[in-house]
Amino acid sequence: MPELASLQCTPCKSGVPPLDANKIAPLLSQLEDDWEVVNQHHLARTYKFKNFAQALEFVNRIGHMAEEQGHHPDLHLAWGKTRVEIWTHKINGLHEADFVFAAKCDTLFRPK
């Protein structure tokens, strides 16, 4: 399988079931260790920064990427950190596109 970050987020069709644990595990193993699967429903990771401005810059970079990819995570901004939560709203669970987006977030992360 190609590196996840090199793939495009492909929207899923209605009626597609969310990924089960057997399909989640190999995809999760391709992400950075800080990612977690929460209740087999969504991916989450908290990125840490030296200050609020860097965390905000990261949120904005993810926002631009989200628009380009057509995949929109929940972003939580606080002083020195950004939490990213990703799932496919259409199926209320995880899809391969969520793992692709997570990998792309990691490529944007450059601690300063």
**For residues 74 and 94, what is the distance between their CA atoms, to the nearest angstrom?**
14
Is the pLDDT confidence value at 16 over 80? yes
Residue range 18-37, pLDDT digits in tens: 999 999 999 999 999 999 99
- Site of tokens 């995880």: 94
Q: Which domains does the chain have, with CATH numbers?
A: 42-112 (3.30.1360.20)
pLDDT classification of 112: cutoffs 50, 70, 90:
very low
Q: What contacts 75, CB < 8 A, 6 or more positions away?
A: 59, 62, 63, 82, 83, 84, 85
Cα–Cα–Cα angle for 79, 110, 38, rounded to 5 degrees: 65
pTM, 2 dp:
0.92
Q: What share of the chain is helix, strand, coil (3-state, %, to 5)?
A: 40, 20, 40
Residue range 72-95, pLDDT digits in tens: 999 999 999 999 999 999 999 999
Which residue blocks in the chain are alpha helix, DSSP H? 21-28, 52-69, 96-108
